[in-house]
Amino acid sequence: MTGSDHRHLPSGVHQTVRPGQALLRLETTASREGVLDGAWWPRSRDIAVELPALVSALTRYLGPVTRVGLDTAAWQRLPTRIVVDDRVVRIDSFPVSDDTVLITRDDQDLFSLLVVPPNASPEAAHAAMAQAVRADNVSQAEQILIDTGSGQQPSD
């Protein structure tokens, strides 16, 4: 590639995403253009259960993840650190809102992921994740969730 390191998931992958998976558009350069770097649809609000799989997946693409920034009020049992693949990952609590998670790689880069609420319907989650990973996305996470209805309970 010409001086940049782009990593994209194949087109259409958002159609098969399920709770507990991440959809990423990662551009590991300083000139990232989109508001968000990806999206994550956890199965629950239990971060001790959900976060290790996300960190492992991101580590494969980004290298070692050193910190994760989360909103304390949005998660159950929020620890101050976890061990993933024999590495300590610090968990910082910030008032970032429950619609984003901030990932720090080797104290160098900060990546922002949309967090789709666990109770979102599959259709709304797919729409939100697809919007978040668009390179031309200019919408903040909260607006994406509003526009796609991802923050609402699925109807029975």
3-state secondary structure the chain: CCCCCEEECCCCHHHCCCCCEEEEEEECCCCCCCCCCEEEECCCCEHHHHHHHHHHHHHHHHCCEEEEEECHHHCECCCCEEEECCEEEEEEECCCCCCEEEEEECCCEEEEEEECCCCCCHHHHHHHHHHHCCCCCCCCHHHHHHHHCCCCCCCC
User: What was the pLDDT predicted at 6?
Assistant: 35
User: What was the pLDDT predicted at 8?
Assistant: 39
User: What was the pLDDT predicted at 14?
Assistant: 45
User: What was the pLDDT predicted at 68?
Assistant: 93
What are the residue ranges in the chain where pLDDT is below 50?
Answer: 1-15, 28-29, 153-156
Q: What is the pTM of this model?
A: 0.79
User: What was the pLDDT predicted at 58?
Assistant: 87
